[in-house]
Structure 1
Amino acid sequence: MKAPLSKLRNLCFPLLCLPLTIYANQIEGLRDSRYCEILYSKSRLNLAVYNTIGLNDCPEANWGKITKECVKKETDSSFVKLNGPRYWMIDGMVNSQLVNPEKKVICGLAMREAGVLKLGITDLLTASEPYKQHQVDRQTTWIYKSGKPVYELIDPKGQVFVMQSYSTEKKPQTAETLEKLGTELKLPKGWQFRTGTLKQDTELKAIDNKATVIQDDFLNTYQLATHDFIN
């Protein structure tokens, strides 16, 4: 059964990427820094993920001029998703790798291939729904620093998802306004939103090179953790 790419039209893509060359093993100072992503089809269910991290902060003068038509023409792809701008809520990362560290200029914006999003039929059917899990192939370890705020979603099974980036696509948001996010989300039955301050530096790893991610109503992205960061 073929899954048409038209099903992807409203897909809200989570963060899939990282800002390092394949030779680097640590970067700090990422919190609240801006980046953008471009995703395009490599095959029917595989999407290449390119981002600006480590190259530029996705200048609005460049980003505002990029169109899906331009990307389709330059990449010879049938599906394109412009994802951004987004802002990190992690403080740094270690031991992370790009799919391809070579710089590529797409419609005037320098980017690198950071990941591959593999979609199944279930992903297509739930593509536009918040609070649905999607799995991403990537090798990443996020760092959250002591004394910094963290934001968590807890599902009915008690699984904890920690915010890794926020979006300004659906509504204006800043790192400061996230404190009120819990009063604005339309959480499914049994879900909880929680915020707190880290008491110690904490890592969030992709397990076996796979990250499970979800998004809330405003396209903010969270990754599944092995433990509660707050309690």
Structure 2
Amino acid sequence: MRNMRKIKRYLLTMSLLCSLMTLGACNQNPATEKAGTPEVKGTDIGSKSAVNSEIKPADTTASQDHTDKITMTTGQGKTMELTLQTLSDSRDYLYCELVFDYGDAGNDIYSTSPLGQGKLEWWDDLDLEALAEEFGAKSVYKNGPQWWSMDEVGVMASQPVKVAGVNMVFGAHLPPGTMNIQKYTVFNPAKFQNLVWEAGKPVYQIVDAEGHVYILQGYKVPTEELATLGERFKRLPDGWEYRVNVLKENLMMKLTPREPIPSVQDEFNQIYIRISKSK
């Protein structure tokens, strides 16, 4: 019986690679913040402080088939309830993630999105050793800052948690080794995300040698460099290309761990998601 519980817990862990996550090391970005705070649909989190925000508790019996809410266990052994939260006007929205490494117990991901745009002054001054000690982790590292490339994003997130004096959300607990993804190698993260890129706006894509098209999810280079980023690639495989495209119609993705989500990571630690040929 105990083994069955362990197996169920492991399968649940593997089923939720939060998309807050973009897998990779920190790449400090001098780009400026986008003014204002986008509206957050479906929750009470709409301000940058979000101190009094309340999220309806998740049903602890929720299954993978009920993606509006889910319960997860952190590397500290705490139970966290996550709900699906939709951030509108998310294009160029600045957010920061922290990865807490618990060794064989895996990794916890905390993010400033969707509570409010990240503050680089706070980010630059973080004492990572003190944070690791406070949260009982072996180490902590920065994943970001980064910016959403899509116009609307729905992610799984907990109620606000104070991290170094700033509200963040817990978004995922990942098995050990999940963060070590080879560049330009197709992998299949397990995550719930609803993504929308609007027609008439630029999108940034990688096309592999077989013609599969991958669209950039979150970017870590200055916004003004995205248009010519292809000129900076040094390790792009033969037959692959980077391109900028303008969509003729809205592109919508509803990602679930019940289906493969082919993805690749570039040399700037940015994640691209494969566009289905049916889209």
TM-score normalised by structure 1 residue count: 0.76
User: Is residue 2:247 matched to residue 1:198?
Assistant: yes
**Contact 2:190–2:257 (CA under 8 A) maintained in structure 1:** no
Distance 2:106 2:262 in 1: 17
Which of the two has greater strand per residue? Answer: 1
AA at the equivalent of 2:277 = H
Q: Deviations over 1:42-98 (max 9, x none)?
A: 45262111100122211122111113202211110113221111011110024x432
- Residue of 160, 178, 184 corresponding to 2:213: 160
Contact 2:110 2:169 in 1 (8 A): yes
State the partner residue of 1:132: 185
The structure number with the bigger radius of gyration is 2
Stretches of structure 2 that go unaligned for 5 or more consecutive residues are 1-22, 27-39, 44-68, 70-82
- State the Cα RMSD in Å: 2.7
1:215 aligns with 2:243: no
CA–CA separation in structure 1 for the residues paired with 2:139 and 2:188: 20
Q: Label 1:57 to 1:128 Cα distance change in 2 as closer, same or farther (>3 A).
A: same
**SS of residue matched to 2:116:** coil
Q: Secondary structure at the match of 2:229?
A: helix
Q: How does 1:91-130 map to 2 (within 5 A)?
A: 91-94=151-154, 96-98=155-157, 101-120=158-177, 127=180, 129-130=182-183
Aligned length: 203
Structure 1 pair 145/215, CA: closer, same or farther in 2 (3 Å)? same
CA 1:192 to 1:139, structure 2 compared with 1: closer, same or farther past 3 Å?
same
Task: Give yes or no for contact 1:118–1:136 (8 Å, CA) kept in 2.
Answer: no
Per the normalisation by structure 2, the TM-score is 0.64
Q: Are the equivalent residues in 2 in contact too, given 1:74–1:107 (CA < 8 A)?
A: no
The residue type paired with residue 197 of structure 1 is: V
8 A Cα contact 1:52 1:112, kept in partner: yes
After TM superposition, the runs of 4+ consecutive aligned structure 1 residues lying more than 6 A away are none
C-alpha displacement at 1:40, in angstroms? Answer: 1.1
Gaps (5+ residues) in structure 1? 1-10
For residues 150-186 of structure 1, give each alpha carbon's deviation from its aligned partner in whole angstroms, at most 9, with x where no partner exists. Answer: 1111222333211011104xxxx21x32111112112
1:181 aligned onto 2:241? no
**Is the CA contact 2:190–2:256 (under 8 Å) kept in the aligned structure 1?**
no
Distance 1:135 1:45 in 2: 21
Q: Are the structure 2 counterparts of residues 40 and 85 from structure 1 closer, same or farther at C-alpha, using a change threshold of 3 Å?
A: same
Letter in 1 for 2:230: G
